[in-house]
A and B are shown apart, each in its own frame.
Chain A
Amino acid sequence: MGQSRAEIIAWVAGNVIPHEAALRARLRRMAVAGEEIDDIVQETYLNIARLKSVAHIRDGRGYLFTAARMVMLQRIRRNRIVRIDHLTDTQALALEDDAPGPERHVAARRELARVRRMIEDLPPRCREIFELRRVEGFSQREIAERLDLPEHTIEQQAIRGLKLILKAITTEDRESADPSETRHATLKGTSGNG
């Protein structure tokens, strides 16, 4: 049964977005360069965008890591990773979720705290518009009337806010940051890549 795009978006929001930062952290630990990470993540989303249905996927985090591994292998085959020539199939295959079991399930409370922090970190006007739209459910026009601003300004602020959110989801925040990150960062520094 094919799913509507709205359903797939909702599934990605609940099952993939919360784990993007963990995937990026894992790739950094494999000494993959920053731009490469962006490309791998983007191609992974593209593969998900092309799915007809996600109803059969039970573990979003597991799926994200598997999909990213496939993307990496494809990229190595196509020889698109030039920056890290030592990265072989075997190493790409090692891309898997190394978080301990309980860590894989982002606890609701922690996720809520992270979302709240993302909203709190927005510039004040951006934040106000985001809350009115996302949390209160007002339309763009209603927000424009309430704040006595042109609708175009509301749209610009919303775009600005979303861009900041897109940046925020790439990094694990203070609460959920992987403690092993520091150690691996040092290793990466000495490996001569990046």
Chain B
Amino acid sequence: MDDDGAARWAIRRDAGPLSPGEQRELDAWLAADERREGALLRAEAALVYIARAPALIDAEDFPAAPEEEAPAPARIARRRFLAGGAVAGAAIAAGVAGVLLMPSGQEFSTTVGEVRRLPLADGSVATVNTASRIAVALEPEQRHITLEEGEAWFQVAHDAHRPFVVDIGNVRVRAIGTAFSVRRNPEGVDILVTEGVVETWTEGQEATRIRIAQGERSFVATGTGAIVAVKAADEIERALAWRDGGLALNGEPLSYAVAELNRYNHRKLVVEDPVLARMPIVGYFRTNEPGDFARAVAPLIGARVEMRSGNMHLVATGS
């Protein structure tokens, strides 16, 4: 392994943009042995790996230091699980882990940055995103889920005699055997269907159910009963990148990207400049590594990263 050269170039590239002369030097170094390209990737990734320590602290759901307390709701939920005899592993946002079997009639919540896959007793699986809360009641006539907060993706085991119904405020989504996600926002409820068909309606308006099919999404604004489904196949896969710990962006403004990443991390990204906030961003980012996002994006939009009281501010280079 050419660790010497790889380490030197990884550090230089990390320090800032290479001068044209340095770039030529790097190109020559890479051209001398094709395997150096792999060695350089490894060295640069090792640097990022080391920088992950703060992100990992965020992902921890138990106190990193004795004086730090994890948020109370998560602790209660966890204790309930341990009492249920399940083996609780610390799920990190990057990898969806865990083999818990969700007991019926229970509540479950995830902490900031946690993504958890939750197999249900009927064979369905709920993948619960960051800072979310769901309640599960598997009754003989109906499988009933309440999404109290946040976002979840459901892979529903087929059972024609026992519909699977998710309550999100006054919005209902009913499935028999399918896969779909729901997200609860202050503005309304977002429903994405990845497989099969679901039916959705708002409470009290059962007569005006609409069907949302695979590859369609629907948004039900708070306070309205109108539900419209639109085709959005590509968008759906991107919108659900969180299941793999990712955030996929295809030209969404920086303000949106920052709001999304901040859902997953205690260390917040801040953009105050309205011009920067509107910059379109393209790419696939890890939700638990806001620092990497900031460093990757800053040079592309003419910004730099400033640390202020633990948060990362993206500031226009000219200012």
Contact = CB atoms under 8 A, between A and B. Distances in A.
B37 A46 contact: yes
B57 interface: yes
Contact of B50 (A43, A159, A165): A165
Interface in A32-76: 38, 41-50, 53, 55, 58
Interface in B31-52: 34-35, 37-52
Nearest to B47: A162
The B interface, classified by DSSP as helix, strand, loop or mixed, is: helix
A17 B52 CA distance: 12
Nearest to B10: A162
Contacts, number: 175
A112 B54 CA distance: 9
Nearest to A157: B11
B53 A10 contact: no
B49 A13 contact: yes
B38 A46 contact: yes
Interface residues of B, number: 66
B59 interface: yes
B179 to A, nearest CB: 16
Contacts of A30: none
A111 B56 contact: yes
Q: Which has the most chain B C-beta neighbours within 10 Å: A13, A17, A50, A139?
A: A13
B58 to A, nearest CB: 9
A50 B38 CA distance: 8
A155 B283 contact: no
B41 A45 contact: yes
B63 to A, nearest CB: 11
B70 interface: no
B92 interface: yes
Interface stretch (A84-92, A100-108, A175-183, A184-192): A100-108
Contacts of A169: 46, 49
Q: Which has the most chain A C-beta neighbours within 10 Å: B12, B48, B54, B62?
A: B48
A15 B94 contact: yes
Contacts of A137: 291, 305, 307, 312
Nearest to B241: A55
A121 B246 CA distance: 31
Nearest to B6: A166
B56 A9 contact: no
B292 interface: yes
Interface in B98-145: 99
Contact of B89 (A3, A15, A107, A116): A107
Contacts of B7: 159, 162-163, 166
A6 to B, nearest CB: 4
A57 to B, nearest CB: 9
Given A7-B285, A9-B48, A166-B42, A14 B94 contact: yes
B41 A119 contact: no
A41 B3 CA distance: 13
B56 A108 contact: yes
Given A10-B296, A108-B60, A118 B50 contact: yes
A146 interface: no
Contacts of A166: 1, 3, 6-7, 42-43, 46
Given A14-B286, A49-B38, A105-B97, A134 B51 contact: yes
Q: Which has the most chain A C-beta neighbours within 10 Å: B14, B87, B295, B307?
A: B14
Contacts of B289: 10, 14
23 contacts: A1-B250, A6-B292, A7-B296, A9-B44, A10-B296, A11-B286, A13-B51, A14-B94, A16-B45, A45-B39, A47-B38, A105-B95, A107-B92, A109-B62, A109-B90, A112-B64, A115-B52, A115-B53, A119-B50, A137-B305, A162-B11, A162-B43, A165-B50
**Which 5 A-B pairs have CB atoms at the shortest separation, nearest pair first?**
A46-B38, A45-B38, A13-B48, A12-B45, A6-B296
